[in-house]
Amino acid sequence: MSELKNDLLLRALRGEELSRPPVWMMRQAGRYLPDYIKLREKYDFFTRVETPELACEITLQPVDQVGVDAAIIFSDILVIPQAMGMQVLLEEGKGPLLPSVVKNEADIDALITTDTEERLHYVMKTLSLTKQELNGRVPLIGFAGAPWTLLCYMVEGKGSKTFDKAKQFCFTKPELAHKLLQKITDMTIKYLIAQTKAGADLVQVFDSWSGMLSPADFKIYAEPYLLQIADAVGKHAPVILFPKGSWYALADLSNSSASGLGLDWSLTPSLARQLTGNKITLQGNFDPAKLLAPIPQIKKEVKEMIDAFGTQRYIANLGHGILPNVPVDHAKAFVDTVKEYSK
């Protein structure tokens, strides 16, 4: 493997002294890029995910076109429920649909947790192909969905504003919920370790729906499983945990084996630093909708964000995935402002 020419992201996660923070964007490989849209018109979603050459091409687009400091593999968090034997449908613009959901113990027992690497071989192939194509230009990020977030989809069957069914399942059948969460966790650990062996320099765990939980319920249904993943996978590569909406969990998670914590825009940089005692690298937290503002405003607010976080132990990113209607030059302005930053 070629040496990394740009290792800013890994250095930020190690807490090394940097003159500017690294920058990448969640969902950077995708829907706002004209070249991605062309591929989307030709191939359905899971064809794009499961064809390593296509997924590799999509992963590289933002590196080539927007100039980010890292590539994140083009994939989906729902490949895990798929590999566990559940059917996952995806209609463009409509979000995921799982026609048969987990309702009882028999459904949980039926989930497959063996041969993770073989079942998800296409992700490993995409990673090794992309690693080769990147040729050391920037680090490569692998990822997975967090157990709580995957439970939400597996029990609810689709996206939801409240995930009442998923929460009802946990609150009325807690022992089954933990059995399911543990099964997802075991599979996710195997999956992420396989990703690091296939070429991922670091991994991120997306807990997109953890903010649905109260602080007390987060400690029961999300935190123990995030910690297990960070402990097991952190031995192989740096781990960034992103519990969206769960600012209340930052203090606990900053004492974990994770190297970084992703932040949404619901808290200030100073509060995030205070809660984490400056012990861990923070990532975020620009509101993606702000990329629709005029470019001079984007530049001004990005500078203010970096001033507030500081250049050490910080990764500039959005507080959630980039929106499909963001103009490419606005995304580029975000990235360029970080790259031009100097105190």
Q: Phi/psi of residue 283, each to 5°? A: -130, 135
Residue 83 has pLDDT above 80, yes or no: yes
Rounded mean pLDDT of 108-125? 97
What is residue 164's predicted lDDT score, i.e. its pLDDT?
97
State yes or no: 76 annotated in a binding site: yes
State yes or no: 31 annotated in a binding site: yes
CATH of 8-339, one of 1.10.10.10, 3.40.50.300, 3.30.2350.10, 3.20.20.210: 3.20.20.210
Q: What is the pLDDT of residues 135-155, one digit of tens each?
A: 999 999 999 999 999 999 999
The residue extents of the domains of the chain are 8-339
What is the DSSP track for 231-273?
HHHTTTS-EEEEETT-GGGHHHHTTSS-SEEE--TTS-HHHHH
* % residues pLDDT > 70 (the chain): 99
What is residue 1's predicted lDDT score, i.e. its pLDDT?
54
What is residue 55's predicted lDDT score, i.e. its pLDDT?
98
pTM: 0.98
What is residue 342's predicted lDDT score, i.e. its pLDDT?
85
pLDDT band for position 94 (50/70/90)?
confident
Q: What is the pLDDT of residues 227-238, one digit of tens each?
A: 999 999 999 999
Read off the tokens for 71. Answer: 């590539």
What is residue 93's predicted lDDT score, i.e. its pLDDT?
79
What is residue 14's predicted lDDT score, i.e. its pLDDT?
98
Residues assigned a catalytic role: 27, 31, 40, 76, 153
CA dist., res. 189 & res. 207, Å (int): 15
State yes or no: 248 annotated in a binding site: no
CA dist., res. 310 & res. 275, Å (int): 16
Rounded mean pLDDT of 295-322? 98
CA dist 177 → 102, 105, 180 (Å):
10, 9, 5
State yes or no: 214 annotated in a binding site: no
State yes or no: 208 annotated in a binding site: yes
pLDDT band for position 267 (50/70/90)?
very high
Per the prediction, the chain carries an average pLDDT of: 97
Contact in structure between 201 and 10 (CB atoms under 8 Å): yes
Residue 120 has pLDDT above 60, yes or no: yes
CA dist., res. 59 & res. 293, Å (int): 26
Read off the tokens for 86. Answer: 């559940």
Residue 2 has pLDDT above 80, yes or no: no
**Amino acid occupying residue 265:** W
Closest C-alpha among 223, 242, 289, 309 to residue 20: 309
Q: What is the pLDDT of residues 189-225, one digit of tens each?
A: 999 999 999 999 999 999 999 999 999 999 999 999 9
Q: What is the pLDDT of residues 18-67, one digit of tens each?
A: 999 999 999 999 999 999 999 999 999 999 999 999 999 999 999 999 99
Instruction: List the Cα angle 24/324/322 in 5-degree steps.
Output: 25
What is residue 343's predicted lDDT score, i.e. its pLDDT?
65
State yes or no: 29 annotated in a binding site: yes
State yes or no: 14 annotated in a binding site: no
State yes or no: 210 annotated in a binding site: no
Rounded mean pLDDT of 152-170? 97
